[in-house]
Structure 1
Amino acid sequence: MKVCFFAHSSKTYKNGAALSLINIANEMADRGIEVIIILPNKNIQYPITNRRVKCITIPALSMRTRIDDFSITNKLKEKIKKIYNWFSKQKAISILKKEKPNIIHINGLDTSVGAEAAISLDIPYVWHIRQLLEEDFGMRLHDKSKIYKLLNRANSVIAISKTVKEKFEKILNIDLTIIYNGIPLENYMISEKNSFSANTVNILLAGRILEQKGQLDAVKAMNHLVKTGTKNIFLTIAGQVEDNGYANRIKEYIIEHRLNGYIEIIDHINDLRQLRKKCDIGLICSKKEAFGRVTIETMVSRMLVIGANTGGTLEIIKDNENGLLYHEGDYLSLANKIKYAIENKNEMKSIIDRGYKSALENYSISKVVDQIIDIYDSIQK
């Protein structure tokens, strides 16, 4: 079998969708499957470990745009992107004729290049929806109606959670298959760790810094806790800034409320394990996660997950079983959950153990690839 993935456009390969594709490609190649990855950005190279995976760059422009931008300039950009991507499609068709893949697998809602090339060459294609877009990124699609029509023509559409499935089944009026994301658990596991053992409770919020990820809610929760007497806490916010205005609001709030001794903001780092070894709690404050790769990483790092009760987080975390849930957007609810965790450390250690075990049982990359190959086999019969 030979599979060709079309990667989505991004500034880095460190986001959840790109990392998931890398994990799947390496696992498939380890099983003897030939894999090609079409990359849309020549400046981004995926760290592929298996030589069976061939990466080819076909420059293409993302059809995502800010949800609130309907300016004339943005409409002009849309027209330019369509013309540019038409040439990308022609190049993709030329390469696919030479490579002759059995399946095309499109990773994320981004462009129609992969689907149009597949239709032109009569190659079956699978579309993997990994984002809600409006709800989790504050983004929408240029030429949305065209992309949705191509989604309807896909041989199979995969959703990474019930939340994604429910949204797009209503829009597309077709059945989607749920395959929860998996991760190479061994890369994130911390098998031995004594959480909540130090005097200071260390908290981590990892992820891209933009309003949909809810970092300001966490900062406000910290302010409430400190001002009401809970001072043995420290929050680290780690992530790439994608909304400078929002990041500045966070920094101004920290300065205004004199929280510098309780909160730090650091850039994204590739391996969070060293930081996670020192942390007791991991926060998931997103307004609505499509799934939540970071949630799984946190669980296998033997940290207590405290997450917002929406989207994919709600599907992974069962309150008081393998983590804690708070009311999304309500920083007082989040503060109360953090305080409860601090005051009930022994109970939290049991919840951490259950979270660790449930992540190992349900979210391996091997299990994900098994399910994807089942879809490929059903398409080719």
Structure 2
Amino acid sequence: MKKNILLVGHSGDMYGASRSLIKLVKILEQNYTVHVILPEIGALFDNLTAIIPSQRILINEDLYIFTRKSFKIKYLISTLFRFLRNVISLIKIIQKFKIEIVHTNSGVVPAPALAAKLSGKKHIWHIREWFGDFKQFWPIYSGYITGLSDQVVCVSKTMAEQFKNSKNILAIYNGFEIPKVQTKATITDDLQNKLNNADLILGCTSRIRLIRKGQEYLIEAIGILTKKTGKNIQAVLIGDYVPGYESQKEYIHNLISKYDLEDQIHFLGHLKDPLPYYRLFDVFVLPSGEPEPFGGVIMEAMSMGLPVIGSNAGGTTEQIADGWNGYLFENQNADDLAQKLALFLDEKDKLKLFGSRSIQRIEENFSLEIHEGKVLRLYDEILK
């Protein structure tokens, strides 16, 4: 009989962590009976129902996910009570479904680890976040994570380095396959004409947020390079503003106006399936100003045969082989990003060469098969 496991997600959307959760469910469902807890019904729920029965997808709208607000004094008591409610409800679920392993899919969901410990069950904690902003809190919380987990899995070596002197830390890269994209991108005739006349087309897929995701560095770099070369550089940005940061839209548009880029920067918003749009790009850029744990969109771009550019911080440094399939630019430095973009303007033959190397790099280092093997071995070892 298959053993029961419980995966705990932290959102109902279809951004990076959710896509990774879907991959985990597909892998683990081969050998185990997978149950999933989500805080809401959304696109992730719909995608999961194609893999496991809907009755195994549990919705807990009270699931505690900590944010910056959690650390404010006026919220501490309510946060504590909510956390304890979560632990109790999770213990009941573990007992009801006879769960053997609890797998928390994000670093911002603290209750499952304690619930597993109190239930005498194994716990895996998947860390997909960079906690550099929580310097005072991190020593305490990192101890909580490692102390209550049989294994802490980090999505990159850089994220694993957040933990000091702990033996139960393991880096496992997310796995990706070379996609077979059947559909075409749907864009307006006006945008298509602008792209047809471009000297270089850049793409960026990410939620929009100043500094954190760094779209302002990309816009500024395009402005600098356009002024210097007179070339027609077009950029297509996919993704919505991070909830709560919509007010940054004014800053972004003022920056576009500053460099007269109204006809060069194009926002497509959130797309359910962005992969067909990658075919529009010559180069993919992820300009994050803070370390990315392991940017799934970089891997998507590489799997689509694109050269990639990212900042020299976080897991991005492990994804991009600098000077081989793309370039790393100095973090938060628009001038350096402009210089890296110029390399593709000056040497167009690199576009095809670097793109083919991106696919090669996926196949040799980040394939779905490698990821699957490491995950299944981890589960075997923990259950032993």
TM-score (norm 2): 0.87
SS in structure 2 opposite 1:212?
coil
Q: Aligned equivalents of 2:280 and 2:141: distance in 1?
A: 48
Decide which of 86, 89, 98 is 2:87's aligned counterpart.
Answer: 89
Matches within 5 A, 1:347-366: 347-366=350-369
Q: Aligned equivalents of 1:232 and 1:40: distance in 2?
A: 45
Following superposition, the deviation at residue 13 of structure 1 comes to 2.1
2:173 — aligned with what? 180
Q: Aligned equivalents of 1:320 and 1:142: distance in 2?
A: 37
Indicate if the aligned counterparts of 2:64 and 2:110 stay in contact, CA closer than 8 A. no
Matches within 5 A, 1:148-167: 148-167=143-162
2:147 counterpart letter in structure 1: N
1:105 counterpart letter in structure 2: H
Q: Aligned equivalents of 1:186 and 1:131: distance in 2?
A: 26
Decide which of 248, 251, 259 is 2:250's aligned counterpart.
Answer: 248
Decide which of 316, 336, 352 is 2:339's aligned counterpart.
Answer: 336
Is 1:203 equivalent to 2:202 in the alignment? Answer: yes
Following superposition, the deviation at residue 213 of structure 1 comes to 1.1
2:35 — aligned with what? 36
Is 1:232 equivalent to 2:249 in the alignment? Answer: no
Following superposition, the deviation at residue 204 of structure 1 comes to 0.8
Distance 1:173 1:353, change over 3 A: same
Following superposition, the deviation at residue 32 of structure 1 comes to 4.1
Q: Which of 312-321 and 54-63 deviates more?
A: 54-63
Q: Aligned equivalents of 2:111 and 2:319: distance in 1?
A: 33
Following superposition, the deviation at residue 198 of structure 1 comes to 5.7
Distance 1:151 1:247, change over 3 A: farther
Aligned length: 362
2:52 counterpart letter in structure 1: R
User: Residues 250-279 of structure 1: CA distance to partner in whole angstroms, max 9, x if unpaired?
Assistant: 111112332101112231112112211111
2:260 counterpart letter in structure 1: R
Q: Aligned equivalents of 1:42 and 1:139: distance in 2?
A: 29
Q: Aligned equivalents of 2:284 and 2:270: distance in 1?
A: 15
Indicate if the aligned counterparts of 1:159 and 1:176 stay in contact, CA closer than 8 A. yes
Q: Aligned equivalents of 1:312 and 1:159: distance in 2?
A: 10
Q: Aligned equivalents of 1:367 and 1:91: distance in 2?
A: 35
Matches within 5 A, 1:103-142: 103-134=101-132
Unaligned runs of 5+ in 1: 191-196
1:205 counterpart letter in structure 2: C
Q: Aligned equivalents of 2:374 and 2:90: distance in 1?
A: 27
2:324 — aligned with what? 321
SS in structure 1 opposite 2:109?
coil
Distance 1:273 1:141, change over 3 A: farther
SS in structure 1 opposite 2:51?
coil
RMSD: 2.5
Indicate if the aligned counterparts of 2:145 and 2:152 stay in contact, CA closer than 8 A. no
1:325 counterpart letter in structure 2: L
Indicate if the aligned counterparts of 1:302 and 1:356 stay in contact, CA closer than 8 A. yes
2:266 counterpart letter in structure 1: E
1:80 — aligned with what? 78
Q: Aligned equivalents of 2:331 and 2:180: distance in 1?
A: 29
Distance 1:251 1:141, change over 3 A: farther
Unaligned runs of 5+ in 2: 184-194
Distance 1:199 1:286, change over 3 A: same
1:3 counterpart letter in structure 2: I
Decide which of 270, 273, 284 is 1:271's aligned counterpart.
Answer: 273
Q: Aligned equivalents of 2:32 and 2:136: distance in 1?
A: 32
Distance 1:64 1:143, change over 3 A: farther
TM-score (norm 1): 0.87
Indicate if the aligned counterparts of 1:23 and 1:183 stay in contact, CA closer than 8 A. no
Is 1:370 equivalent to 2:358 in the alignment? Answer: no
Q: Which of 42-51 and 353-362 deviates more?
A: 42-51
Distance 1:65 1:188, change over 3 A: farther
Indicate if the aligned counterparts of 1:225 and 1:335 stay in contact, CA closer than 8 A. yes
Percent pairwise identity: 25
